[in-house]
Chains A and B, each alone.
Chain A
Amino acid sequence: MSNDQSDKAPPLSKIARDLAPSGIRKFFDIAAKMTDVISLGVGEPDFITPWGIREAGIYSIEKGQTTYTSNYGLIELRQEISKHLDRKYGVKYSPESEILVTVGVSEGMDLAMRSIIDPGDQVLVPEPCYVSYRPCVSLAGGEPVGVATTSQDNFRVSVAQLEKKLTQKTKAVILGFPSNPTGATMPRQALQEIVNFADKHNLFIISDEIYDRLTYEGEHTCIASLNNAMQRTITLNGFSKSYAMTGWRIGYACAPPTVLTAMMKIHSYTALCAPINAQKAALEALKQAESAVEEMVMQYNQRRRLIVDGLNAIGLKCHLPSGAFYAFPSVEATGLSSEEFAERLLYEEHVAVVPGTAFGEGGDGHIRCSYATSIEKIEIALERMGRFVEKVAPNLISKAKANESVVQTQRAAK
C-alpha cells in the first residue's frame, strides 16, 4: 500500500504543479532496471576526485571541522577563487564582497534568478541547454523564453537570434558555454557582441561556466573579462567538472557587490553555507590539482575525437564539439525522433543516451552522448549503436563509409 493519500491533503502550489518533470527521469527509470547497460547518459566525470583533494577533505573531518562557515564561504577559499580567476582570465573579483561559495552551480543559478527576477520578467535562454535553466527562471516567477540554436551554427547563439525574442519585459540572458548538452563553445568576439547587446538593452548576463576548463579548441573566454561586462554579469562556476567533484556540491557565484549581497541574503536563509569539509577540499583543488586537471582534459580530448569519429562512421552526423564532455549527433537520418531513438536503443541494445528534447528547443533530432566514460566502454557502445542503426536504417552506414575515405584524405592533406 502506498502512503500517498494526496487527495486528502491540501493542494500543492501552482508553481510546483506547473513545473515540468525532467525529461531525463524516464530514461533513468528504465536504465536503472536493466543489467549490462553501457551508459553514455551520465552528466558527470567518470574520474574519481584526485586523491590529494579527497585527502584534504578527510583531514578536515579529522581535525573536527564540523561547523558552519561564513555565509559567503571560507575566506581562504574565496581568496583562492579570486586569484584563480585573475590568473586565468584577468578578471578581478573581490574576495570580500564579490564572491559567494554556493552548493554547486545549481544553487548559484537559483540564487541569481531569485535576485534579479520580478514576476513577469522574461529571461532569454539559448537552447538546447542545461535542464535547470528554465525551471530556475519559472521558480523565481519569471518567464523563460527559449532561443533555439541549430547544428548548422554549431549550436552557437547570435545577437540576431536573441534580438528576435527581445521584448520590453526582457531582463536577462542565460549563457552556458561550453554547453551541456551540445559541447558548443563561443568565440570571444561573438560573446563581446552579446555583451554589447545586453549593455544596449540593460540586461543581466548569467554565465554558467562550469565546463570552462574542458575547452579543447582555442581558449575559454570568461564573459566578465569582456568590455562593459562586469557590471551586468553573474559568473557561475564550480568544482564539479574540472576537478571531478560533483558529489561535494561546491560552486561559486561572482557578481558586483549589490547583486552578490542579494544572492548572499537568500543563500543565508535557504542554504546558510556550503559544507565546510567540501570547501576545504575545494581549496586544495585550486592549490594543488592543476596537473590532475590537465591529465583529465587530455583523456577527455582523446575520447572526444574517438566518439565523434565513431558516431560519424555509423551514420550519425556529429560536429566536433569544442568543449564539455558531450557529443550531440543528429539521428534524423535514421527516420526516428530523438525520443524513439533513445528508447529503442536502450531496450534493444542496452545503451543509454539522452534524447535532445530533454534540453529544450532545437534539441529534437539529436541525442546527447556523454564521453565521460572509459574508451573501452565507448567502443562497445559505438558497436552496439552501429548494430542498431544498421537495423533501423540499413543504408546509412555504407553511405557513411563512403564519406569516411573523404575525411581521411582531408586529414592527410592537413
Chain B
Amino acid sequence: MLNYQPMQLEAPDEILTILSRDARTSPEKIAKMLGRTVEQVTAAIAEFERLGVIKHYKTIIDWEKTGVEKVIAFIDVKVHPAREVGFDKVAERIYRFPEVQSLWLVSGGYDLRVAVEGANIREVGRFVAEKLAPIEGVMATETHFLLRKYKEDQVVFVDNEEDTRLVVTP
C-alpha cells in the first residue's frame, strides 16, 4: 500500500470497476475510457458474464420518491449449525423465500444476516414469526427495521454537495 505504483488497476479489472458504478456504461464509452477497442471490451464483458464474475446488473431506486410503500428489515439470526453441512442448509432454507433480498453469513453474536423486503411492517413481522423463526436450527432472531437510507452501493440518497469551485481558475 505504501509503495504506490501508478495504474496498478489496469484493464480488465477496471472494466468491472466502471460497470460496478454504472452498469449502463456502453462498451463504446468504456473502450474510450480505457484506451481499448470496442471489440476487446465486449469480449471481456461476455467472458465475465460467462464465468459468473458479473452476476447480474441491477438498478438502485429511491422507492421513497415514487410513493411506493416498502419496508426493509435486517434480521440477525442465531443458528445451531447442523452436522456436516454447517450453516449452509439453514441458509438455503432461508434464501429460498422470495421475501429475502440478501443473505450473509457474518461473524459476531449472530450468524446470519437476512435482508427482507415487504409491503408493510405487519407483513415482515409475519414472515419472521411464521416463516423464519420456526426453521429448524434457528435459535434466535433480532429484527431491525430500516428507517432511512443515506447511502447504498456508493450512491448517496440525501442531496449531494454542490460544486462550489470558481468557474475558471489557474
Contact = CB atoms under 8 A, between A and B. Distances in A.
B25 to A, nearest CB: 9
B167 A39 contact: yes
Nearest to B39: A412
Contacts of B29: 306
Contacts of A301: 7
A411 B36 contact: yes
Contact of B167 (A42, A290, A303, A412): A42
B18 interface: yes
Given A411-B35, A411-B36, A411-B37, A43 B6 contact: no
Contacts of A213: 4, 6
A81 interface: no
Contacts of B23: none
Given A24-B170, A44-B165, A309 B32 contact: yes
Interface string A392-414: 00000000000000001001100
B155 interface: no
B1 interface: yes
B8 interface: yes
Given A87-B3, A88-B4, A44 B169 contact: yes
B120 interface: no
Interface string A208-243: 000001011001100000000000000000000000
Interface residues of A, number: 45
B101 interface: no
Nearest to A310: B32
A39 to B, nearest CB: 5
A37 B9 CA distance: 33
A28 interface: yes
A216 B8 CA distance: 11
B170 A130 contact: yes
A183 interface: no
Nearest to B2: A87
B34 interface: yes
B32 A131 contact: no
A303 B29 CA distance: 10
Contacts of A28: 166-169
Interface string A298-313: 1001110110011000
Contacts of A132: 170
Contacts of B17: 298
A132 B35 CA distance: 34
Contacts of A293: 4
Interface in A264-306: 290-291, 293-294, 297-298, 301-303, 305-306
Nearest to A218: B6
Contact of A302 (B6, B18, B163): B18
Given A302-B33, A411-B36, A294 B9 contact: yes
B14 interface: yes
A362 B18 CA distance: 37
B4 A42 contact: no
B161 interface: yes
Interface string B38-76: 011000000000000000000000000000000000000
Given A88-B4, A411-B37, 18 more contacts: A22-B170, A28-B168, A31-B168, A32-B167, A41-B168, A42-B167, A132-B170, A213-B4, A213-B6, A290-B4, A291-B1, A294-B8, A298-B7, A302-B14, A306-B33, A352-B167, A408-B37, A411-B35
16 contacts: A22-B170, A24-B170, A31-B167, A42-B165, A42-B167, A46-B163, A87-B2, A215-B6, A216-B7, A219-B6, A291-B1, A294-B4, A298-B14, A302-B18, A305-B33, A309-B32
Interface of A: 22, 24, 27-28, 31-32, 37, 39, 41-44, 46, 48, 87-88, 130-132, 180, 213, 215-216, 219-220, 290-291, 293-294, 297-298, 301-303, 305-306, 309-310, 352, 354, 358, 375, 408, 411-412
Interface pairs A-B: 5 shortest CB-CB: A41-B168, A302-B33, A28-B168, A31-B167, A309-B32
